[in-house]
Structure 1
């Protein structure tokens, strides 16, 4: 059964959408400055980033937090 999550700004947003939107907004070079991970620095692509982020929870958390900070409006990012 589908449950609503009104307080979760990432509900219904796929990781691929997050990475794509951040890359379009910042570009790979700025993403690498914001989050220091090699998948954004060396031969970056959405595909390689997704592979890394799905296996690396701490990096995925940082990407999700940057997405929330950048695109989600109050009250979601009020405490960030």
Structure 2
């Protein structure tokens, strides 16, 4: 029997993809304001942020939560 497709909206997404979409959607300054971590505020880059997020579960949870919020807001406003 085949498994039903995952209902998890994060299924199959890499942390890098999530971070790049957040940066594209909010920009580094707003991202640093919404999630108060230094790697988003002081000389931010995707690579340094990924290193930090991979080692820090609480920060990764905040990033994933903000990404899910962004998806809900896009759906609500009719954007894809």
Q: TM-score, normalised by structure 1?
A: 0.82
Long gaps (5+) in structure 1: 75-80
Return the offset for 1:5: 5.1
Aligned residues: 72
| 1:29-40 aligned within 5 A | 29-40=29-40
Match in the other structure for 1:51: 51
Highest relative contact order (Cα 8 Å, sep 6+), 1 or 2? 1
- Which 4+ residue blocks in structure 1 deviate beyond 6 angstroms? none
Q: Which residue of 2 aligns with 1:16?
A: 16
Q: Which structure shows the bigger proportion of residues in helix conformation? A: 2
Runs of 5+ unmatched residues, structure 2: none
Aligned-pair RMSD on alpha carbons? 1.6
